[in-house]
Structure 1
Amino acid sequence: MSHPSPKLFSRPLHALFWLTALACLLPLISSPMALVLGIVAASLGAIPQGVNTGALAKKLLALSIVGLGFGIQLDQAIEATRAGLGVIVVTIFGTLLLGTLMARALKLDSKTGHLIASGTAICGGSAIAAVAPAIDADSRQVSLALATVFVLNSVALFLFPAIGHLLGLSQEQFGIWSAIAIHDTSSVVGAAGAYGDQALITATTLKLARALWIIPVAFISALAFRSHSRKLSVPMFILYYCLAIGVAHLLPQMAPIWEGVFWASKRLLVVCLFLIGCGITARRLREAGPRPLMLGVGLWLTISSLSLLYLLA
Structure 2
Amino acid sequence: WLFMVGIGLLSNLASQSITVGTRHPLESVTIAIVIGLFLGNLLPFPRFLQPGIMNYEMALKAGIVLLGIGLSFFAVLEIGAKASSVVVLCLVIAPLIIFFIGRKAGLSEKMTLLIGVGTTICGTTAIAVTAPVIEAEGDDVSYAVGTISLVGIAAMFTLPIVARLFGLNESVFGLWAGTAVHATPQVVAAGYMYGTVAGQVATVAKLTRNIFMAPAVFLIRLWHTRKTHHAASKKTRYWKAVPTFLFGFLALAVIRTLGDGTALIPASEWQWIVRNVNELGKFLVLIAMAGIGLNTRIKAMHRIGFKPFLVGVAGSVLLATISLGLIHLLGIS
TM-score range, shorter chain: 0.7 to 0.9
Q: Does 1:251 align with 2:259?
A: yes
Specify whether residues 47 and 92 from structure 1 end up closer, same or farther in structure 2 by C-alpha distance, changes over 3 A only.
Answer: farther
Taking the TM superposition and a 5 Å limit, the aligned residue runs for 1:80-229 are 80=79, 82-226=81-225, 227-228=228-229, 229=232
1:236 aligned residue (229, 244, 250): 244
Query: Contact (CA 8 Å) 1:96, 1:118: kept in 2 or not?
Result: yes
Name the structure 2 match of 1:7: none
Deviation, 1:241, is 1.4
Name the structure 1 match of 2:313: 297
Deviation, 1:184, is 0.9
Deviation, 1:108, is 0.8
Query: Contact (CA 8 Å) 1:119, 1:126: kept in 2 or not?
Result: yes
Deviation, 1:149, is 0.9
Deviation, 1:15, is 8.8
Query: Contact (CA 8 Å) 2:139, 2:301: kept in 1 or not?
Result: no
CA distance in 2, matches of 1:188, 1:76: 16
> Where in structure 1 do 4 or more consecutive aligned residues deviate above 6 Å?
14-17
- Output one character per residue of 1:97-141: Cα deviation in whole Å (capped at 9) or x when no partner: 112211221111111111111111111112112222222222222
Query: Contact (CA 8 Å) 2:117, 2:123: kept in 1 or not?
Result: yes
Q: Does 1:307 align with 2:295?
A: no
Name the structure 2 match of 1:5: none
Q: State the SS of the aligned residue for 1:129.
A: helix
CA distance in 2, matches of 1:193, 1:301: 21
Deviation, 1:47, is 4.8
Q: Does 1:20 align with 2:7?
A: yes
Specify whether residues 240 and 80 from structure 1 end up closer, same or farther in structure 2 by C-alpha distance, changes over 3 A only.
Answer: farther
Which deviates further from its counterpart, 62-71 or 121-130? 62-71
Q: Which runs of 5+ in 2 are unaligned?
A: 18-26
Specify whether residues 272 and 15 from structure 1 end up closer, same or farther in structure 2 by C-alpha distance, changes over 3 A only.
Answer: closer
Deviation, 1:277, is 2.5
Alignment size in residue pairs: 299
Amino acid at match of 1:225: H
CA distance in 2, matches of 1:185, 1:114: 19
CA distance in 1, matches of 2:45, 2:196: 43
CA distance in 1, matches of 2:59, 2:3: 20
Specify whether residues 275 and 195 from structure 1 end up closer, same or farther in structure 2 by C-alpha distance, changes over 3 A only.
Answer: farther
Query: Contact (CA 8 Å) 1:38, 1:276: kept in 2 or not?
Result: yes
Q: State the SS of the aligned residue for 2:74.
A: helix
Specify whether residues 205 and 112 from structure 1 end up closer, same or farther in structure 2 by C-alpha distance, changes over 3 A only.
Answer: same
Deviation, 1:281, is 3.2
Query: Contact (CA 8 Å) 1:41, 1:47: kept in 2 or not?
Result: no
CA distance in 1, matches of 2:59, 2:117: 20
Deviation, 1:75, is 1.6
CA distance in 1, matches of 2:167, 2:274: 38
Query: Contact (CA 8 Å) 1:99, 1:113: kept in 2 or not?
Result: yes
CA distance in 2, matches of 1:248, 1:85: 20
CA distance in 1, matches of 2:158, 2:284: 28
Specify whether residues 15 and 59 from structure 1 end up closer, same or farther in structure 2 by C-alpha distance, changes over 3 A only.
Answer: closer
- Output one character per residue of 1:280-299: Cα deviation in whole Å (capped at 9) or x when no partner: 43312210001111111111
Which deviates further from its counterpart, 284-293 or 299-308? 299-308
Q: CA RMSD in A?
A: 2.5
Deviation, 1:271, is 3.1
Of all paired residues, the percent bearing the same amino acid is: 27
CA distance in 2, matches of 1:65, 1:77: 22
Query: Contact (CA 8 Å) 2:134, 2:221: kept in 1 or not?
Result: yes
CA distance in 2, matches of 1:280, 1:161: 35
Query: Contact (CA 8 Å) 1:66, 1:238: kept in 2 or not?
Result: yes
CA distance in 1, matches of 2:4, 2:326: 46
Deviation, 1:55, is 4.1
